[in-house]
């Protein structure tokens, strides 16, 4: 027969650790789907786009699902996030939804239709023509994502919990 003797400090530590694990498991199920990746060439007025050109992706509901800047002349790679099914807010694209790519906030001509699929990696060349020089260096589109702040807070909480446990154990010695 198995019995468990409750030791006050150790029992409290184990209980806290179990609760932290349960909170993490709950968050694992709430993660959004893997993003859809797009890459290819970027041409503006017949020439390769300069480094720093803004590329953005929008779903059919006009929700910004991805943003990047070119870090190599005439090339881009972009992640387009998907919509989380656990939320009523539209944060990104849904499976099978068409994606529109923009160059410096101008709708781009695309070499083929794009379709959002979780975890996909699709080559689509994009271009715009007859654009004045002032429109080439348009300002970037804001991408307000607080997911990174949430994870930073979660990691910081775990680190503080570990420090508290370590200090308590050191006092016992």
pLDDT of residue 83: 82
pLDDT band at 25 (very low <50, low <70, confident <90, very high): low
Q: Report domain extents, the chain.
A: 36-142, 144-173
- Across 44-55, average pLDDT: 94
* Chain segment 83-98, per-residue pLDDT in tens: 877 767 777 888 889 9
* Three-state DSSP state, 135: helix
Q: Quick one: which of 31, 33, 51, 29 has its CA closest to 42?
A: 51
What's the pLDDT at 144? Answer: 44
Per residue in 157-172, pLDDT tens? 898 988 888 888 888 7
Residue 154: φ, ψ to 5°:
-65, -45
CATH code of domain 36-142: 2.60.40.1120
pLDDT of residue 24 exceeding 70, the answer is no
pLDDT digits (tens, 9 = 90+) for 99-147: 999 999 999 999 999 889 988 899 999 999 977 654 544 444 444 455 6
> Collapsing DSSP states into helix, strand and coil, what is residue 63?
coil
Cα 120 from chain centroid (whole Å): 14
- CA atoms 72, 76, 77, 83: torsion sign: positive
Residue 36: count of CB within 10 angstroms of its CB? 27
Q: What is the mean pLDDT of the chain?
A: 80
């Amino acid at each position: 027969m198995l019995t468990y003797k409750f030791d006050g400090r150790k029992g409290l530590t184990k209980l806290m650790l179990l609760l932290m694990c349960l909170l993490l498991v709950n968050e694992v199920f709430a993660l959004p789907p893997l993003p859809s990746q797009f890459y290819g060439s970027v041409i503006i007025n017949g020439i390769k786009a300069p480094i720093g050109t803004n590329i953005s992706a929008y779903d059919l509901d006009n929700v910004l699902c991805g943003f990047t800047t070119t870090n190599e002349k005439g090339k881009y790679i972009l992640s387009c996030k998907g919509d989380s099914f656990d939320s009523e807010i539209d944060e990104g694209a849904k499976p099978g939804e068409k994606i529109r790519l923009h160059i410096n906030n101008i709708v781009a001509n695309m070499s083929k239709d794009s379709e959002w699929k979780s975890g996909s990696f699709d080559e689509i060349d994009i271009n715009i023509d007859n654009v004045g020089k002032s429109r080439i260096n348009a300002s970037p589109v804001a991408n307000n994502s607080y997911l990174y702040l949430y994870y930073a807070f979660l990691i910081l909480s775990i680190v503080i919990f570990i420090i508290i446990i370590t200090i308590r154990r050191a006092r016992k010695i």
